[in-house]
Amino acid sequence: MGLVGIVLVSHSEQLASGLRELLRQVATPAVRIEPAGGTDDGELGTSPARIAAAIETADTGAGVVVLADLGSAVLTARAVLADTPGPELVDAPFVEGAVAAAVTASTGADLAAVVEAAREARDVPKF
């Protein structure tokens, strides 16, 4: 079994891909980090098909954490997850939660620990 995977759901393809690049700097390469940003035609928005594909690619059998940036990204992710039991949508800050999840997943932690690390990022002061 592999490590917990991470899916980044954003309205912007560039934002999701950029965050993935940041996470690649803090996570072991074995953590699958998949962006699911933008619409199928390259516009701002979210795509259920992109989210579902990212979940499938990120899943190595240890579970998948899904983080979303804003309102309708959360709604779209929830709709996809209603048909895909298992992955966990986490109420966490997009960047900080993703960093915490990636670092924790790199340690081989289980899904519950990765989810909790992402959630705890909400309460970490920046200064």
Q: Is 104 a catalytic residue?
A: no
Kindly report the length of the chain.
Answer: 127
Amino acid at 58: A
Spatial distance between the Cα atoms of 125 and 105, rounded to a whole number of angstroms: 22
Instruction: Tell me which of 4, 8, 11, 33 is the catalytic residue.
Output: 11
Q: Let me know: does 120 contact 100? Beta carbons within 8 Å.
A: yes
Active site residues: 11
